[in-house]
């Protein structure tokens, strides 16, 4: 949002809403929605790849097996994709 505000010439002291700044710049969706859409696009590209490609092999490896000290378990890329699919109601829970 900071870069969008500077492009539009709106300071944070101007008390202009983020949705108004996005509208001025011609963006129809929020940053989170755009990142999720691009993540799903990359997931679709990965699924169509040949199994022998190194990118797909790295994607398939589960490196998040345990906890890091006392913190919660790390999420893998597949977990983020699953959460996005469930949130957008593309798959049922």
**Please, which pLDDT band fits residue 65 given cuts at 50, 70 and 90?**
low
Model pLDDT, residue 33: 84
Q: Which of 49, 42, 48, 51 is nearest to 81 (CA)?
A: 42
Per-residue tokens: 55: 């990118």
DSSP state of 74: P
Q: Looking at the predicted structure, is the pLDDT value of residue 53 above 70?
A: yes
Model pLDDT, residue 4: 83
Q: Which of 52, 1, 46, 50 is nearest to 24 (CA)?
A: 1
Average pLDDT over residues 22-35: 82
Question: How far, in whole angstroms, is CA 26 from its chain's centroid?
Answer: 20
Average pLDDT over residues 73-88: 81
Model pLDDT, residue 69: 67
């Amino acid at each position: 949002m900071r870069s969008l505000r500077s492009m539009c010439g709106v300071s944070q002291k101007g008390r202009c809403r983020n949705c108004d700044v996005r509208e001025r710049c011609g963006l129809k969706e929020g940053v989170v929605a755009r990142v999720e859409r691009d993540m799903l696009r990359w997931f679709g590209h990965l699924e169509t790849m040949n199994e022998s490609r190194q990118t797909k092999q790295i994607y398939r490896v589960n490196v998040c097996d345990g906890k890091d000290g006392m913190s919660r378990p790390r999420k893998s890329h597949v977990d983020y994709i699953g959460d996005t699919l469930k949130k957008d109601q593309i798959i049922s829970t």
